Amino acid sequence: MPAYSQTDKEAILAGIDRLGLYRNDESKFVVLRQNHGRLLKRPTLGLPEVVAEGRSAWIGWLELKTETVNEVATQMTAKVIQDVNADILAVIEAEDRIALRHFNEQLLAPINAAYHGIMLVDGNDDRGIDVGLLTRPGYAIESIVSHVDDVQEGNRIFSRDCPEFSVGSSDRANLLILVNHFKSKGYGSQAGSDARRKAQAQRVREIHDLRKSQGVEAIAVVGDLNDTPDSASLAPLISEGSDLQDIFAHPQFQSDGRPGTYGNGTKAGKIDYLLLSPKLFEGVTAAGTWRKGVWGGKKGTLFPHYDEMTKSVHAASDHAVVSADIAL
């Protein structure tokens, strides 16, 4: 690796100055990481100088600093969460715990909708879209089991993960929540996608059955399962002797007339679930969907949405929220 010439060093210092890093490794927009060795020396008195002899003399890089997006769509996401007002909220397609924490502090807190417990374990998706759990005081996450490394025939089963969150409180039995985001239909062959979703459903069923055999009664399998209730992919969870029951089938479920949860809410778009064990299902006092953050139809006129949403890009999500009130 060639050494830095005097010209190189002058160019580095000029760039450092333009990035606002002349006096500090962190500026408004950029962070200079110097992990092994040093690129720069900043004497107390005098100007910074490049001390690395060449590229191989140090390990480091420049990083763009990130911050929470505060656009209409993100504000609508916060508004949906505020209006649903869940004690325990499973979130699908969030990038990481820090981003969720910033979202909580910067968008939920100002509208009095903040959560206390925020947890997300990195999953298998290279895009960084993972599943997490937000909880209010009184619903502490007491333990987490990740299934990110579960394999079948040498391949990781879950597209993201199927974390088990054990949520406890002092006055009720622990609740076990398995949060999922199954393989979508959008990438790869249909047969391949269907097979992978079925493998994911089978593994979730195994986890469910194991916990049930260990005496856990309050189990909820939740999330975006990317298929309909009558699909072969989801049969291990919804039929085939499963005692999990879909919240849409509960007598207290109040339908808004749309059977689906995705897009326009058609039957083919019923892909978001709360699947409850008998103990939880028996305790349901109310349930429904919240669709005001979704843009329905081409003109957004298919069903009511928030006034602030004046075009489709303002939508909080293409997914409605599914919720249930459960008395334990």
Identified binder of other proteins from the candidate list 41, 55, 172, 267, rule CB under 8 A = 172
Question: Which residues partner with 290 through β-bridges?
Answer: 321
Query: How far from 89 is each of 15, 128, 298, CA to CA, in Å?
Result: 45, 19, 29
**Within positions 47 to 66, which residues make up the interface with other proteins, using CB under 8 A?**
64-66
Q: Report which of 175, 173, 195 is spatially closest to residue 183, judged by C-alpha positions.
A: 195
Residue placing its CB nearer to other proteins in the complex, 164 or 224: 224
Q: Binding-site residue total for other proteins (CB under 8 A)?
A: 66
Q: Please report whether residue 12 would count as binding other proteins according to CB under 8 A.
A: no
Pairwise CA distance, residues 92 & 13, whole Å? 43
Out of 285, 301, 304, 310, which residue is the one contacting other proteins (CB under 8 A)?
A: 285
Closer residue to other proteins, CB minimum distance, 32 or 235: 32
Go through 11-31 and write b for each residue having 16 or more CB atoms within 10 A of its CB, e for each that does not.
ebbeebeeeebeeebebeebe
Q: Is 126 in the site for other proteins (CB under 8 A)?
A: no
Q: Does 100 bind other proteins (CB under 8 A)?
A: yes
- As a whole number of angstroms, the distance between CA 79 and CA 305 comes to 11
**137 near other proteins (CB under 8 A):** no
Instruction: Verify binding: residue 171, other proteins, rule CB under 8 A.
Output: yes
Report the residue number, 68 or 146, with the smaller CB distance to other proteins: 68
Nearest CB to other proteins, comparing residues 36 and 316: 316
What is the DSSP-derived secondary structure letter of residue 48?
A: -
DSSP E strands: which ranges in 198-280? 219-224, 245-246, 253-254, 272-276
Q: Does residue number 325 form part of the binding site for other proteins (CB under 8 A)? A: yes
Range in contact with other proteins (rule: CB under 8 A) among 1-9, 52-60, 98-106, 227-235: 98-106
CA dihedral 233, 238, 243, 249 (to 10 degrees): 170
Taking the complex as a whole, the smallest distance from the CB of residue 153 to other proteins amounts, in Å, to 28
Termini Cα distance of the chain = 66
User: Per CB under 8 A, does 231 bind other proteins?
Assistant: no
Q: Is 195 in the site for other proteins (CB under 8 A)?
A: no
Task: Sort residue 114 into left (φ over 0), alpha (ψ -120 to 50) or beta.
Answer: beta
Q: Which residues bind other proteins (CB under 8 A)?
A: 15, 18-19, 28-30, 64-70, 73-74, 77, 80-81, 84-95, 98-100, 102-103, 128-129, 139, 171-172, 175, 177, 179, 181, 220, 222-224, 272-274, 283, 285, 290, 316-319, 321-328
